[in-house]
Amino acid sequence: MKPVLLLIPGMLNDASVWDDVLPCLPGDWTVRIANVQTQESIAEMARDAWQQLDDVPLSTPVMVTGFSLGGYVAIEMLAHPQRPLSAAALLSTSPLPESDDSRTVREKTMSAMQANFPKVVDGIVKFGTHEASEAVQERLRQMLLSVGCETALRQTRAIMGRADHREALSRLSLPVALLCGEHDRVTPPQLTQQLAQCIPHAQTCIVPKSGHMLPVQQAPAVAKVLTSLIH
């Protein structure tokens, strides 16, 4: 039976963030990509992501994969499952709720976005990549600019209001892979290690030569792990 893979993009990403991963996946997989640009909360993003699976028979293997913000959405889905899942992968994300310090940083970032969005985008691209070529950085820059400031503000507020699902994660029994770039400065590897403590049976992979933007910087490594979860 053909597996269905639901991919959930990160903040300020559109579906193209997965473009390099898709050719590396098995040809018989059905791939769907969630849209997380219009909702006001992580819970609403998860609701809409579940709806993309409404027509999939319960007997069909389904894997949910979330990157960064998409990881928060995937965690929300795992905490409140609407159908059986065969596996999940959480990329460059965190199990922690918002702290007072991170809330302060995000509020300052939102103010900066409203003042000069292209300047903030330049900073995000540089901070989120590790030794990426100018071509890769420009590709990411154009994607972020096209998604736009209003979506960035809405997604940031959604992230700030995310729930703490660590207890629910500890009860998971399905195969879960945790991936993080070795040089990720947005969600550093120690956050993936904390996620691994929540899901003791999870497979953890710290990917060399990558910053935060795993699907772009190390697409073959991402695809290899996803493929290993559903044989």
**Residues above pLDDT 70, as percent of the chain:** 100
Domain extent, residue 225, equals 4-99+156-229
Amino acid of residue 39: Q
Phi and psi of 90, rounded to 5°? -120, 115
C-alpha of 193 from chain center = 16
For 151, the token pair is 């979506």
Predicted confidence (pLDDT) at residue 231 exceeds the cutoff of 80: no
- Structural domain count of the chain: 1
Question: Euclidean distance between the first and final Cα of the chain, in Å?
Answer: 11
Structure confidence at residue 82 as a pLDDT band (50, 70, 90): very high
Look over the chain and give the mean of its residue pLDDT values, rounded to a whole number: 97
Write the CATH number for 164. Answer: 3.40.50.1820
Give the Cβ contact number of residue 190 at 10 Å. Answer: 11
Quick check: is 119 in a domain? no
Q: Round to whole Å and give the CA distance between 138 and 47.
A: 32
pLDDT in tens, 153-190: 999 999 999 999 999 999 999 999 999 999 999 999 99
3-state DSSP assignment of residue 196: helix
Quick check: is 21 in a domain? yes
Tell me what pLDDT residue 1 has.
79
Total-model pTM? 0.97
pLDDT in tens, 63-80: 999 999 999 999 999 999
C-alpha of 223 from chain center = 14
Predicted confidence (pLDDT) at residue 144 exceeds the cutoff of 70: yes
Q: What letter does residue 186 receive in the DSSP assignment?
A: S
pLDDT in tens, 119-128: 999 999 999 9
Q: Round to whole Å and give the CA distance between 77 and 99.
A: 22
Question: Directed axis angle between helix 100-115 and helix 149-160, to 10°?
Answer: 170
Tell me what pLDDT residue 200 has.
86
